[in-house]
Every structure is written in structure tokens, then in C-alpha cells.
Structure 1
Amino acid sequence: MKNEHMLSRRGFCLCCIGAAGFAATGGWLSPREAYAEARGLVSLIKDSAAKSAITTHKLRNGITILEGSGGNIAVLGGKDGLVMVDAGISVSQKQMAKVLSDISPDPVSHLINTHWHFDHADGNPWIGSDGAKIIAHENTRKHLSQVQRVEDWDYNFLPLARSGVPQHVFSKEHTLKLNGNTLDLKYYGPAHTDGDIYVMFGEADVLHAGDTYWNGIYPFIDHSTGGSIDGMIAAAELNLAASNDKTIIIPGHGNPVSNRAELREFRDMLVAIRENVAKLKRQGRSLDETVEAKPTAAFDGKWGQFVIDPAFFTRLVYAGV
């Protein structure tokens, strides 16, 4: 059981490495990658991010998605300076700086963290050291300011440098007017973590949902910092309520340009698997017995073929029902 869980955690890490790199190696680790994994799963992700290219996807109203350094990043350009949603991983600084300068010669004036996880906030210090105003939910600042353990990654994260800790926090909602857009920031309540927020670019009708939405793949749920399957479902409902059929939706992971129909399919998958797992648990099935019953089987063909395998996702759901 322990080995199965470890393999699943490695699968999660490959999400951050990217599909192209995984496909190119056929899923096998090179000697250097194997050594990196021996040093720790988070180190493996960072090693990959250090050499990964950053892919850009231009949306509308001056918004660009950056893909390749941890989670999907949104950048809004304009007269008020660059506005970023999430910062990726610090070892990508060289590639990120080049892409940002291609978007605009202006510095980053504002950085918004959707949550605290390192693949979204590890780049905070280098961006913050250049004067960017960092904004997040109050729980995100708490996690970034102290040693924080994630059991499912078997890793203790150290506090960020002072320049990377959000100086401006809120508890429920916050609004910014920058570069011709009204940015509405809203707290979900505990979902993927206990500090998740969304960012809605009002005039552009673009919604960044952070890690409350994983497009086409089973999501990670961080029980160590307040995440749960019920919270993920509630967040999906909130994302649906905040969007319409013309809204461009940016997920934290997976294909970075999404829409309401794909989001609804994600919500429906979460609801169905939660009910399947809860029914087995009510029957008195143990965790291993529930995994063996394959409650995700109807969805594995689409959602379980890339990163978090069906067994690990079942375990994450079981812990929350």
C-alpha cells in the first residue's frame, strides 16, 4: 500500500513537469531524474521547472497564460504594469523573466496568489523583491510564513523569504481596478486548501480558478491544509455561478484554456465519485476495500490517464467523506 501511494504522489509531480516531458521519456526516469526523486519529490519538480520552456497562450483584453512553471499563470499587461496571477516556481525565473519582458517592458506591479502551494507561489520572492505588491487570502500568508508540511508529498516547506510573503491579505472579497479591468478576488472557503481564491477579470470575462479546477485530470486535494472533496465541489459550483458560456476559464493544471462546459463536466465527475466512495464507506468498507471496488471506473478513461491515478484519487476522496 505504501509503494502504491508513493507512485501516485510521483504521478502528481509529473503534472507539474508537463505532459511533453513525460511522453518524451516514456514515463521512465533518467539517472539524473532518479537521483532527483531520491532527494525528494518536490526537488524533482523544481529540477524539471528549471529547464522547462514557458509556453504562452494569448487570450483577450491583454491577458496571457504562461504554462510550464508549476501551475497555469495569468498575466495582464497595460499602463499600470504587469499584473500576475500566481508566480510559478523560482527556478524558472530566467525563462519567466524573458517571457514577461516579451509581453511588456514594464515591471510586475501586482502579484495575486490563488493559494499557497509552491508550484504557484515559490516564485513570489524574486517578483516581490522587484517591488510587486503581493495579494492573497489571509490563510495563504499564514502558510507561506511558517514551516508547512504536506503529508501526501512527504515534505516540509520552509517559510518564504520576506519579499515573497503577501503583504496585502483579505478574508472574503477584494477588488482591484488595473489595466482597464476590474479584478474581483473571492474566497471559496476551504476547497483545494483553506486559502483558495478565484480571480475574475471582469471586462475580459476571464476567470482564473486556481487549483479548484483541474482540466481533464483528477485533482489533488490537500487535506494537510484544509482541503476536502466537499470543498472542491462547492468551489466548482461557485466557479459555475461566476461564469457564463462565453467566459474563458483558466484551471490551475491541465489544458490552460477552458470553458464552462468542461468545468461542468469536472463538477459532475467530482459529485459522482464522491457519492460512489461515500456509499462504500457507509457500507463499512475499509480504505483498501474501497480502492479495490474501483468507484472511479466510469471516469478513469478520461480523468485517470495522466497524473493522479484512480487509486490515489479514491484515497483522497475517502479521507473527506
Structure 2
Amino acid sequence: MQRIIPLFILPLLFFANSLNAQRFDDVKIETIQVSDHVYMLIGAGGNIGVSIGDDGVFVIDDQFAPLTTKIETAIKALSNKQIKYLVNTHYHGDHTGGNVNMHKLGATIIAHDNVRHRLETTPKRDNTMHPKEALPIITFNDELNIHINGEKVAVFHAEHAHTDGDALLYFTESNVLHTGDTYFKGRYPYIDLESGGSVNGYINAVELGLASINENTKIIPGHGSLSNKTEYETFLNMLLTLKDAVLTEIKVGKTEDEVSKNDALTKTFDDLGYGSGFINSEKIRRTFYVSLKE
């Protein structure tokens, strides 16, 4: 069925889109070389992975639509080859917002089955639906191998972690892992319970990532600076410690509000700055309670 937008709404949408674009005017795309031909781009939203080589450009996530020109410029500084493939690590807009633009640049979009489903069924912030050009063309259920630029990139699904459609990608020769939002370096993670995420699944995703790497692996987290195995293990310890603490509170009959207000449960990690990101201490305690109580 064709969506009809009333005429009086159009100026409001135009104004909202203009404001949305303006908030990205001052964003700069920082390029960090991770290995011989793998790079990390930092801007606004999820961290982008880029592989360059004779086969073309392979990209992981694309942040927001207004940033595509800046992202393309950063990529062209690395390679004059075409952007051939784009993998979305999940469906959130700070990782898929540039999909339509990337499609226009020639990228074939790849993602987990559930990413396509959520993009097809979840309205954008302006309450319009994602166009066909934003949808992944190739989807997978469990795992996928992409052979590009002289190496195999292992793409594997983590069930019910950050969302229900998360993918981690491991560059087997470069020894680089891109975790998507199954890793927020030095911060409490956003676990999207309404989109199929869960505490136990999130922990399993981190353990899955750790099982794939070694001491020399460079890690591109969904958010935060370039990381390593030791920092990744510290992040897992935080998750396991908080899980045990909240489960103990649940077993003695504490309510969601009581747990969310109990600063002592997260104090050790609060003092290390974990609550300074998008998810503060109260939010993470509440998220853990709701997920573990089920």
C-alpha cells in the first residue's frame, strides 16, 4: 500500500531533516590504520571498518546519511577503487543510516536475516519506512565467509546480544576483529531488549569474539577507540560481575526500582568511567534486571 503524507506535514519533515543534517556539519571523519590494508573510521555513530585492495573497497557499517560524503572522501584518500560490499553489523540507524547512499555508490549490502526484517518493518525517526535501496541484498542466518583483498573475512552471528541481528567480523590474515555494538569500549553497553537483545546473549557474543582472537588482535569496537584483547576481557569481566550482582538481588526479592537505584552494584565500574556514555549506571542496572528477571 502506498504511504500518503499529508501536505502540511511536508514542511515539518523538511525542517526536521535540515536540522538533522546541520548537526553533522562539524563532524570530522578520523582515519586510523589498523593493519596493512584495514582501517577504522571514526565520526558520529558506530565505528566503520574499511578494507582496501585490488578487489575493491569493503566497508563495515556507514553511520548517518548526512555523513556519507565525508565518509566517501575519507575512503577515496585510501583507495580509488569502487566500494563493492557493505556489511551492516545490525539495524540501528547509526550503523545503517548511509545505506541508501552506499547503494548509490555501488555497494552490495550484506547483513543478518533479522537486519533486513527490522529495516523492512521498523519506521525511521521521521516515521517513514526505509526504502528498498537501504535493505541488504545478501542476508545470512548463522555465518558467512567473504573472500576479498587477499584474505577471508569470517562473518558470524551472535544471537540475542545487542539486538537479534548482530554480526561480528574477523579478518583472518590482518588479525582484526570488528565487533559492532557487541562491544562498547570502556562504557556500559546499550542492550536493546525491545529489538531482541539480552544480557546473556550479549555476554555470549563477547565470549564468541574472544574465542576468535589472540593477544595480537586489533579490535574495532562498535563505539570507542581501537582496542585489544586485554581491554576486551576487562569488558567481559564487567558484564559477568554485574550479572552476578543483579542475579543476587533478584534472588532475594529486590524489585526493578530497588536494583536500579542501588549505586553499590556498579560502583567499581562507575569509578572507572563506565557510566559516562550513552548508558548511565542506573540504565545498565535496570537493563540487567529486566533481562535477567525474565
Q: Deviations over 1:67-104 (max 9, x none)?
A: 01310000011111110011111111221121111111
For the residues of structure 2 that align with 1:298 and 1:197, how far apart are their CA atoms?
30
Q: Tell whether the 8 Å contact from 1:51 to 1:92 is kept in structure 2 after alignment.
A: no
Match of 1:271 among 232, 237, 240: 240
C-alpha offsets along residues 97-138 of structure 1, whole Å, 9 cap, x if unaligned? 211111111121000111111000111110012221111000
Larger fraction in helix: 1
Residue 296 of structure 1 corresponds to which residue in structure 2?
266
**In structure 2, do the counterparts of structure 1 residues 319 and 216 end up closer, same or farther at CA, with 3 Å as the change threshold?**
same
Gaps of 5+ in 2: 1-14
- Residues of 1 paired with 2:71 and 2:115: CA distance? 23
SS of 1:60's equivalent in the other structure is coil
Question: Which deviations, in whole Å up to 9, do the C-alpha atoms of 1:12-32 show, x marking residues without a partner?
Answer: xxxxxxxxxxxxxxxxxxxxx
CA distance in 1, matches of 2:19, 2:209: 32
Q: Which has the higher contact order (CA 8 A, sep 6+)?
A: 1
1:142 maps to: 117
SS in 1 for 2:77: helix
Q: Is the 8 A contact 2:153 2:171 kept in 1?
A: yes
Letter in 2 for 1:126: N
Larger Rg: 2
- Sort the Cα spacing of 1:315 and 1:90 in 2 relative to 1 into closer, same or farther, 3 A: same
Matched position secondary structure for 1:320: helix
In the TM superposition, residue 280 of structure 1 has moved relative to its aligned partner by 1.0
CA–CA distance in structure 1, aligned partners of residues 118 and 89 of structure 2: 13
Q: What code does the residue aligned with 1:304 have?
A: G
Alignment partner, residue 205 of structure 1: 175
Tell me the TM-score normalized by structure 1.
0.82
Return the alpha-carbon distance in structure 1 between the equivalents of residues 129 and 82 of structure 2.
25
Q: Percent identity?
A: 34
Q: Which moved more, 1:61-70 or 1:112-121?
A: 61-70
Secondary structure of the equivalent of 1:211? strand
> Which residue among 43, 68, 90 is the counterpart of 1:115?
90
Displacement of 1:158 after TM fit?
4.1
Deviates more, 1:298-307 or 1:118-127: 298-307
Q: Which amino acid is the alignment partner of residue 120 of structure 1?
A: H
Cα deviation for residue 168 of structure 1 reads 0.2
Gaps of at least 5 residues in structure 1 are 1-38, 150-154
Question: Which residue in the other structure is 1:183 paired with?
Answer: 153
The residue aligned with 1:24 is none
TM-superposed deviation, 1:47: 4.8
Inter-partner Cα distance in structure 2 for 1:170 and 1:116: 14
Kept in 1, the 8 Å contact 2:123–2:130? The answer is no
- Report how far residue 49 of structure 1 moved: 3.2
CA contact (8 A) 1:129 1:164 kept: no
- Aligned-CA RMSD value: 2.0
CA contact (8 A) 2:190 2:278 kept: no
Q: Size of the alignment, in residue pairs?
A: 276
Contact 1:147/1:156 (CA < 8 Å) preserved in 2?
no
Match of 1:314 among 269, 285, 288: 285
Give CA deviations for 1:28-49 in whole Å, capped at 9, x if unaligned.
Answer: xxxxxxxxxxx99x99886533
SS in structure 2 of the partner of residue 187 of structure 1 = strand
Which digits, 9 at most, give the CA deviation of each residue in 1:270-311, with x for residues without a partner?
A: 011011112112211111111222211111012123432100
Question: Which residue of structure 2 lines up, in the alignment, with residue 284 of structure 1?
Answer: 253
CA separation in 2, counterparts of 1:44 and 1:206? 36
8 Å CA contact 1:146, 1:158 repeated in 2: no
Corresponding residue SS for 1:145: helix
Give TM-score, length-normalised by structure 2: 0.89
